[in-house]
């Protein structure tokens, strides 16, 4: 069961619990809340593993981008060396190589920015889910304590 589904069940359980008259408290079956908290504990490591997988994938993408940009820069340098034999061709080669290097750097920068935006979006989503999970767990614990105190 996904963390989002567990949180929805916790919300439902809290919102539909019987109210204690003249208080802002609700009565929740301990077994139901315990089951959901256990499910949350079971699924949270999987969400964290997924986040770690995404981090590793981001690192791999950044390394690939760096390698590709280095290869493009190296090709441009080799191209410059090959074209420097004649004077007129040399100027043209240097201009073209400079353009190739600039394009390679721009492309590498764009690829890196896109991967950073993607990773940021994934982390933002994960952060929101984890914050929701934490809030539901806190509410559940508080409810359990109130239930225990009122028994």
Every domain of the chain and the residues it spans: 3-150
- In Å, what is the CA distance from 9 to each residue of 2, 3, 36, 104? 11, 10, 8, 50
Enter the DSSP assignment of 20.
P
Q: Using an 8 Å Cβ cutoff, are 36 and 143 in contact?
A: no
Can you tell me whether residue 1 is helix, strand or coil? coil
CB burial of residue 6 (10 Å; 0-12, 13-18, 19+): buried
- Over range 127-136, report the average pLDDT: 90
Residue 89 in this model has a pLDDT that exceeds 80:
no
Q: Determine the Cα–Cα distance for residues 91 and 98; give it in Å rounded to an integer.
A: 11
User: In terms of pTM, does the model score above 0.75?
Assistant: no
Q: Please report which confidence band the pLDDT of residue 93 belongs to, taking 50, 70 and 90 as the band edges.
A: confident
Residue 26 in this model has a pLDDT that exceeds 80:
yes
């Amino acid at each position: 069961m996904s963390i989002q589904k567990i949180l929805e069940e916790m919300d439902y359980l809290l919102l539909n619990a019987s109210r204690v008259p003249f208080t802002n408290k609700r009565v929740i079956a301990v077994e139901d809340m315990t089951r959901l908290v256990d499910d949350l504990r079971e699924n949270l490591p999987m969400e964290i593993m997924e986040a770690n997988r995404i981090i590793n994938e981001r690192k791999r993408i950044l390394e690939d981008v760096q390698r590709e940009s280095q290869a493009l820069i190296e090709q441009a340098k080799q191209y410059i060396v090959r074209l420097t034999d004649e004077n007129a061709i040399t100027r043209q080669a240097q201009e073209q190589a400079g353009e190739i290097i600039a394009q390679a750097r721009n492309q590498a920068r764009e690829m890196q920015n896109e991967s950073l935006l993607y990773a940021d979006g994934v982390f933002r989503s994960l952060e929101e889910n984890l914050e929701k999970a934490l809030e539901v767990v806190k509410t559940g614990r508080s409810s359990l304590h109130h239930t225990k105190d009122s028994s």
